[in-house]
Amino acid sequence: MKTALILLAVIVVWFAARWAYAQVFGVGEIVYRGETIRLSRKYTDYDQYKNDTANIAKEELSRVERLIREAKIGPVFKDWSAFVHAESEIKFPGYGAGGGPKVASAGREVIVSSVEIPSRPPGEKYRYFVLEKQTDGSLRIIDDFIEAGFPRMAVLTADEGRLVCRNADQAVIRERQW
């Protein structure tokens, strides 16, 4: 019994010390696009923050979405590297971004990339960029939209002047002329 009480006391002290350390040395906010965003708690390292699916204070999510939605990008980029640099300026720290499907049709080449918008549950919203490769190798944004719902866009087709984006279940999530 005495050993169990000592063990319990050690565990309680360890958790209290960890909590106190986070309160003193932890980070409870992030500056994003010039605005201070409150986190759901204080974090003592980046991986701890990044792996927490509820890392942003709930009341901040709509503001973060607005900041991502309103962020200006493009519309023309010298090359893929220049686009990725601009996209990384929009990405919220600890959240995903990256290239998606590519398609070529009638001599035109198109690629999709996306930036995850923090939400609950995670992975529910993305800002998509549809880029067309120009003859000089530059890229031009031909569509920029936000799509809610999981899974992310998985298929892009370009036929008869139509650009069609589908999710993994083949449901059309966006269609436009191009």
Q: Whole-angstrom Cα distance, residue 142 to residue 75?
A: 8
Q: Whole-angstrom Cα distance, residue 64 to residue 118?
A: 7
pLDDT in tens, 83-120: 999 999 999 999 999 887 677 777 788 888 889 999 88
pLDDT in tens, 11-69: 665 555 455 545 555 789 999 999 999 999 999 999 999 999 999 999 999 999 999 99
Q: What are the structure tokens assigned to 3, written together?
A: 């050993």
Q: Is 34 helix (H, G, I), strand (E, B) or coil?
A: coil
Q: Can you list the pairs that 128-132 forms with residues at least 24 positions away whose Cβ atoms lie under 8 Å?
A: 128/100, 128/153, 128/165, 128/174, 129/73, 129/74, 129/83, 129/87, 130/156, 130/163, 130/165, 131/77, 131/83, 132/108, 132/178
| Per-residue pLDDT at 6 exceeds 90 | no
pLDDT in tens, 105-158: 777 888 888 899 998 877 788 898 989 999 999 999 999 988 876 456 666 777
Q: How far is residue 17 CA from its own chain's centroid?
A: 33
Q: Whole-angstrom Cα distance, residue 54 to residue 61?
A: 10
Q: Whole-angstrom Cα distance, residue 92 to residue 116?
A: 8
List, in order, residues 6 or more apart from 170 with CB less than 8 Å away: 155
pTM for the structure as a whole: 0.80
